[in-house]
Amino acid sequence: AQTVTQSQPEMSVQEAETVTLSCTYDTSESDYYLFWYKQPPSRQMILVIRQEAYKQQNATENRFSVNFQKAAKSFSLKISDSQLGDAAMYFCAYRSAWRQGGSEKLVFGKGTKLTVNP
Amino acid sequence: DARVTQTPRHKVTEMGQEVTMRCQPILGHNTVFWYRQTMMQGLELLAYFRNRAPLDDSGMPKDRFSAEMPDATLATLKIQPSEPRDSAVYFCASGPTLRVPTNTGELFFGEGSRLTVL
């Protein structure tokens, strides 16, 4: 079974600075998706960024980028120019790709609570 | 704007009462998932459906929980009888099946139902 580990329960960053959230995962599959979801106090789960394992290029979405290291099974999220609205819980998640067959479920890490200080 | 709709948003009930949570997935999505979020366990999969057929409910306590999809526009999660340890936020999520190669892998989440059992 796949597992996702987020080793930082809490992180803080100054407004306008850069912060990196860590995520590692364990799988024997070769094809899969990785995601970062954001959960603000409203508790809505919002997709921040996604990465397909067969793509070597790291995904970017405006101020958000990932460092995907497939061999190391590492998938970190970098937030640049942090804003007060970035304060939230961030969840790393894994999902098998369709070629693998098997379960379609999303497997989550425990989350990292990000605080942005003005 | 397509979204997953969950009701109720908040529910307070007494131990022993029946609780039913409802979810309307995004039109055209044929996989539906129920997740439970607690501080201790994080986000856990309770059950999921593909084309209304239950595929995995191994995370669900069978003696008191039940999940169904009476039709493609409605998924239900029922707890009977409820217990204080069931207090949590319950999320419904939907997405196209991964069996379609063009799938992006993303799941779309509802706003969650916060359940408090006294």
Cβ–Cβ below 8 Å for B109 and A109: no
Rg (CA), chain A: 14
| pLDDT above 70 (res B40) | yes
Task: Output the DSSP codes for B36-74.
Answer: EEETTTEEEEEEEEETTEEEE-TTS-TTTEEEEEEETTE
Q: How many CB atoms lie within 10 A of CB B74?
A: 14
**Coil, strand or helix at B101:** coil
Q: Tell me: the pLDDT tens digits for B11-26?
A: 999 999 999 999 999 9
Q: Tell me: the pLDDT tens digits for B51-94?
A: 999 988 888 988 999 999 999 999 999 999 999 999 999 999 99
Contacts of A9 in chain B (CB under 8 A): none
Cβ–Cβ below 8 Å for B33 and A33: no
Contacts of A105 in chain B (CB under 8 A): 33, 45, 48, 56
Exposed/middle/buried for B63, CB within 10 Å: 0-12, 13-18, 19+?
Answer: exposed
Residue A46 pLDDT level (bands cut at 50, 70, 90): very high
Q: Tell me: the pLDDT tens digits for A28-43?
A: 988 899 999 999 999 9
Contact B44, B95 (CB under 8 A): no
Q: Give the CA distances from residue B99 to residues B38, B45, B69, B105, in Å, rounded to whole numbers and listed in that order.
A: 30, 20, 20, 10
Of B102 and A109, which is predicted with more confidence? Answer: A109
- Our measurement of the distance from residue A10's CA atom to the centroid of its chain's CA atoms, rounded to an integer in Å, reads 14
Q: How many CB atoms lie within 10 A of CB B97?
A: 13
Cβ–Cβ below 8 Å for A45 and B91: yes
Strands A10-14, A88-96: pairing is unpaired
pLDDT, position B99: 72
pLDDT, position A1: 82
Q: Tell me: the pLDDT tens digits for A63-91?
A: 999 999 999 999 999 999 999 999 999 99
